[in-house]
Chains A and B, each alone.
Chain A
């Protein structure tokens, strides 16, 4: 009984999906058919009567190709696990220059509207995705569309056939119904492989995207590096260097006072010693900010354990990392974990945290979970965005789940190839 129910529901769902695929994929052929009908209606023998239909075919196909592809991609994504990235070229920002003209990345225009229009047409024309979409709208009706159309066609035949009083059409009607019912659960399925095969971005498009991504990352890295060097220079200049100057001064004065006022000389020496201790402490903090010593001496896992011990949160660390990691990856992950744990204590008012490091065949996964009040979100220029950018250099990803009221869980992943 249960099997029958599930089969019937499967057939109903399949029927609806097959109809949807038929409608979407047959939209462009319908325009073509309409154009042909129009031409015949005017005068099939006169070549001039085909000019209008020809324009209709061209404009209709061009205008409909992108919406049709969007719809197919959406339906496939909704019904199956296959996610087909769109891969359309992103428009560059349009900016006004000091001359008053607008620059859209390709040309100068007098008004913003012109600039946007020009950009849109250029993008449309040069974007390989446009040509891929056109090809797909030509292919899909004769593959997935034809197969999916069997179901609604069977139903139509059944309705027409069973409405007649004679035996022969009725038999045909019954046959149509049987075909429709039997094929309903399966007929929509070819759309998935067809979409995956013909609608995915071409290697050239993927490479173009990748180049864009890497260029942006390179710029980010350069800026971050420059800022970091500047910070270190400032810290050294205002901290250790200044203190050492003070230390030298104290010692010089003490040397002078040694014979005339030994008591004050001794006080100055004590001061110098305190100054040396203070500058060492400062330098130690600075070094910890650049590269924590334990990370250098023992690697990521022990560095994280040390961090957990020093943290004001009660932090547990579970680590299962076998292979040694690349120092830059270790450093990025360490500072990522430190950032997250600090956020947990400072913003989420958490009392406990849990850090998990696990390595499998696909890469390294680090999870940081706290018992705070949640509500963490990524802001431009914020710490979480910085974390994402630092990991992006290694093709790493960050997933944040932080509902209001907590808990916050952040998952960082770095693929094997980068380790």
Chain B
């Protein structure tokens, strides 16, 4: 994969480049400010980019805005956004165009190299990857608690992993369950919530997130 890394702190940028290269991917460019990121995204059109939210010149949400602007220009351009904090608001903004190829993670997710690279590859493939922290916040909200009251604990866990963007197979591996058990849970869960299941992972995540978001 050709990867772009946009991060203003040298140590983190360097570490990320080394991690990505250690997994056999190529880092084609790096950027350290918001405008640089936007230029690089549009110039290189990488298979996937890792973008920090807070960057110079204003130290506000330049990275996020650069990613959104680039995706407005090139729909579905795969971007994995990293931040010191995750917010539902930003997750919703990133997912709003419905084009897929979006990841949103806490910076410390790079501690687990395997999972991080797995998420990066999923995003590059047009999938969705959300940090468990975002999903936990989403599921703890007032409207979600009311709507999900009827789910069993297992169904709740499956829903959370599904919203993170995992496939049935991956969910099975995480929960130590067989594929058939997972599809049983998903069917009953979608039945209870009244949304139609769509096997294609990305649209399914969107369906779940849209359902949770609409209060």
Q: Please report A residues at the B interface, Cβ cutoff 8 Å.
A: 273, 276-277, 280, 284, 287-288, 293-294, 296-298, 302, 305-306, 309-316, 351-352
Q: Which B-chain residue is minimally distant from A278 (CB atoms)?
A: B108
Q: Looking at the complex, which of B1-9, B82-90, B157-165, B190-198 is the stretch in contact with chain A? A: B82-90
Q: Are A293 and B84 in contact (CB under 8 A)?
A: yes
Q: Which B-chain residue is minimally distant from A313 (CB atoms)?
A: B142
Tell me which residues across on chain B come within 8 A of A293, comparing CB atoms: 54, 84-85, 87
Per CB-CB distance, the 10 closest pairs between chain A and chain B, nearest first, are A314-B142, A309-B88, A297-B61, A297-B60, A306-B89, A313-B142, A293-B85, A306-B87, A280-B108, A314-B143
Nearest-CB distance from B60 to chain A (Å)? 4
9 of the cross-chain contacts (CB-CB < 8 Å) are: A277-B108, A280-B108, A294-B87, A294-B89, A309-B87, A309-B88, A310-B88, A312-B140, A314-B142
Nearest-CB distance from A239 to chain B (Å)? 16
Q: Are A310 and B140 in contact (CB under 8 A)?
A: yes
Interface flag for B141 (CB, 8 Å): yes
Q: Are B60 and A298 in contact (CB under 8 A)?
A: yes
What mask results when residues 61 to 72 of chain B are scored 1 for a CB within 8 Å of chain A, else 0? 100000000000
The interface residues of chain A, by DSSP majority, are classed as: helix
Interface flag for B48 (CB, 8 Å): no
Nearest-CB distance from A340 to chain B (Å)? 15
Nearest-CB distance from B137 to chain A (Å)? 5
Interface flag for B214 (CB, 8 Å): no
Given contacts A280-B107, A316-B215, could you give 13 more A-B pairs where the C-beta distance is less than 8 Å? A273-B112, A276-B111, A284-B84, A293-B85, A309-B88, A311-B142, A312-B141, A313-B142, A314-B143, A314-B215, A315-B142, A351-B142, A352-B142
Nearest-CB distance from B211 to chain A (Å)? 15
Q: Are B111 and A277 in contact (CB under 8 A)?
A: yes
Complex Cα distance A313/B142, Å? Answer: 4
Q: Are B89 and A305 in contact (CB under 8 A)?
A: yes
Q: Are A276 and B108 in contact (CB under 8 A)?
A: yes
Complex Cα distance A306/B108, Å? Answer: 21
Interface flag for B43 (CB, 8 Å): no
Interface flag for B53 (CB, 8 Å): yes
Tell me which residues across on chain B come within 8 A of A352, comparing CB atoms: 142
Nearest-CB distance from B167 to chain A (Å)? 25
Tell me which residues across on chain A come within 8 A of B141, comparing CB atoms: 309-312, 314
Q: Are A309 and B89 in contact (CB under 8 A)?
A: yes
Tell me which residues across on chain A come within 8 A of B145, comparing CB atoms: 312
Q: Are A297 and B53 in contact (CB under 8 A)?
A: yes
Nearest-CB distance from B121 to chain A (Å)? 22
